[in-house]
Amino acid sequence: MKHTRINRDRLADTFLNLVRIDSPSRHEGRVAKWLKDWFKDFPGAVVTEDGSAIETGSDTGNLVIRLKGNQEKPPLFFNAHMDTVEPGRGIKPVFDGSVFKSDGATVLGGDDKAAIAILLEAVNCLQENKLNFGPIELVFTTCEEIGLLGAKALDTSILLSKAGFALDSTDPDAVINRAPAAIRFNIEVHGLSAHAGINPDKGINAIKIAAEAITKAPQGRIDEDTTCNIGLIKGGTATNIIPALVEVEGEVRSHEASMLRKIQDEIIGCFHQAVENYHGHTEDIPKAKAPFINSAIRDDYPLMSVPEGHPIVTTVLQAGKGMGRNLYLKKTGGGSDANIFNQKGLTTVILGIGMQKVHTTAEFIRLSDMVASCHLVLEIIKYWRG
């Protein structure tokens, strides 16, 4: 299959058509309809939409497209997500014949519509060249960019496959088999409001207490496997009012479960200590009243670790070798639908497709990388034995 001709012009047109369809998270319905129409007359394709929209709030469910194939092999799935980040409305793609980018006012949407276009071109090649393949399932999810919500709500009972690939990363030579677990935290710092000009001594400034905690909390890269970040701070009502409430939100990611919880506890501990350090109590401000904190921890996504000897890994490396490409295994610091799929018992690794500067208005992708990714998908299908 490595010599199968990819129709570059058709691949480019498919991608351009897709990115012109607005599909920010929870508004993937138009892309879903476009895909349903695309497969409507495709020989042997069965399209299923699950009921995940009730949970995700999207205007569509996840789509699963099944191609029966003509060989007895274990089913195999390929995944891409339909949503894009903002600014992602009214995208005007610019294509110079080799590189796709936006006009600079929006993202391009290559994350992850380039993956969808690649998979559709691979499907075209399977049919046009009458290639042999086993059952294939395409899993197009919603709301990936806002917490992997579509994957979390996916009804896996509609899938026959137990293993597959998520096309959702940058380096086209990288095969990601390890990704961290993550938690999110929300901390409320409660102080006491008062007029900032007339009686500031009767207030407790929640922002000041939160600031002390934030300056002492671990942040950034902790070690090779662990990162943490405080990304949102909300508080205060007016410049002349001592702020009584500050809300702080952040995350911790790690490939080591014990380290994940250790850093989580250290961060919460810094806020407790900042409250303990407060020395502004008077008769007007009894210690029992304020300050205090409320904290909540939420598991965001689980650890992903696929062994090097698993057939899904050996297959892609063998496929790359058959193409003369030196693919390599990689550990990432990001989370994706693949984390959730693995948790649900669907062994998944992530393939890079060449998209660059994603989530920015400078995003771009080369057509040559998309063509190479399409060839790799076809080679994987060829080598897959389960």
Q: Which residues are catalytic?
A: 83, 144
> Within 10 A of 130 (CB to CB), how many other CB atoms are there?
7
Which are the contacts of 322, defined by CB distance < 8 A and separation ≥ 6?
A: 2, 379, 382, 383
B/e letters for 235-256, b = 16+ CB within 10 Å, e = fewer, are bbeeeeebbbbbebebbbbbbe
CA angle 325, 385, 352 (to 5 degrees): 35
DSSP state string for 136-186: EEEEEES-GGGTSHHHHH--GGG---SEEEEEEES-TTEEEEEE-EEEEEE
Give the separation between CA 261 and CA 183, rounded to whole angstroms: 9
Tokens at residue 208, please?
């000041």
